[in-house]
Amino acid sequence: MWYRRDVIAAREFTRADLEELFEVAKYMERYARSRVDFLRGKVMALAFFEPSTRTRLSFETAMRRLGGDVIGFWGAEGTSVEKGETFADTIRTLDAYADVIVVRHAHEGAAKLAAEIAENPVINGGDGSSNHPTQAMLDAYVMWREFGAVDGLNIGLVGDLRHARTVNSLLEALTNFNVKVRLICPEFLRPRAEVLDYVQSRGLKVSFHTSIDEVIGDLDVIYVVRIQRERFLDPLEYERAKGSYRITLETLKRAKRSLIILHPLPRVDEIDHRIDATPHARYFKQAELGVPLRMSLLYLILTSG
């Protein structure tokens, strides 16, 4: 199901796809701190037109733990993009050298375009404000690992749910499972209508809330993304709102003992650093599991099984 497949949007993947991905990722965990030669002789190209630490380094680490090699660029400086080369020509060139291309770009649709151009598989490492499918796969994988299953979970999403590409992709991925989703954000930062229409048409149960306090007691997972001051027209409104979308020790007083807190990182101040030491914090574990998850992804795409 995965061999030589492009990974452009989370919505392209079925429950069976994700379960296979998760099973292989779990198996890969044993090699995530050592090395195995499953992808020896394969080269992954990174075409990162936009900055990234976590996505880039976890892909790199995953490829190297599997015995493969990595080439590419991050940031457009020092590349032929500066000389006026088209995106298409840059992708064609990487396609001539590598066996798989990971694209990150500020413009929506860049990964899809790359996939149409390249003969080799293309993985979307985040484009525009809509898609970051491998992050969504990772997010769902962390839930699956922590609770043994995604079905039955009560999941809160908090922050700027309109512009965070991880949120869009995660909502799409969650349509494959029987979960309840609480969207916690100011009204004007709700996911776009087309995203909501899509996930609800696929049967995802979502409800809307304007404060964490309303729902914290029921949640199994709370997934936090940044909420930026610049999104608010009125700075005073931001000052009033921000307490409602920030996780503090106070917030957690009414939480289930088993609640886990996820965050795609980097965070600024939307999670109090004192939370890091609590048993709820799972965002660094989440970053760590990015390696076996991406090992699984690369393995499934690059080997015919």
Q: Which two tokens stand for residue 278?
A: 């609590």
User: Shortest gap between Cβ of 92 and its own copies (angstroms)?
Assistant: 5
Q: Could you give the 3-state DSSP secondary structure of residue 149?
A: coil
> Based on the number of CB atoms within 10 Å of its own CB, is 55 exposed (0-12), middle (13-18) or buried (19 or more)?
buried
User: Of 11, 56, 105, 132, which is the active-site residue?
Assistant: 132
* Smaller CB separation from its own copies, 58 or 166: 58
* Smaller CB separation from its own copies, 188 or 284: 284
CA dist., res. 222 & res. 5, Å (int): 31
The residue type found at 129 is: S
User: Of 56, 104, 165, 180, which is the active-site residue?
Assistant: 104
User: Shortest gap between Cβ of 65 and its own copies (angstroms)?
Assistant: 7
- Radius of gyration of the CA atoms of the chain, in A: 19
User: Shortest gap between Cβ of 147 and its own copies (angstroms)?
Assistant: 21
User: Of 5, 26, 54, 267, which is the active-site residue?
Assistant: 54
Q: Is the dihedral of CA 187, 191, 192, 198 positive or negative?
A: negative
54 assigned to active site:
yes
Give the CB-side neighbour count of residue 216, counting CA atoms within 13 A: 19
132 assigned to active site:
yes
* Smaller CB separation from its own copies, 78 or 279: 78
166 assigned to active site:
no
55 assigned to active site:
yes
Q: Which two tokens stand for residue 256?
A: 């289930």
Q: Which of 202, 130, 208, 191 is nearest to 166 (CA)?
A: 130
Locus of tokens 């839930």: 143
* Smaller CB separation from its own copies, 91 or 206: 91
User: Of 11, 55, 61, 145, which is the active-site residue?
Assistant: 55
User: Contact residues for its own copies (CB under 8 A)?
Assistant: 33-35, 40-41, 43, 45, 48, 51-54, 57-58, 60-61, 64-65, 69, 71-75, 77-86, 88-90, 92-94, 96-99, 265-268, 273, 284-285, 287-288, 290-291
112 assigned to active site:
no
Active site residues: 54-55, 83, 104, 132
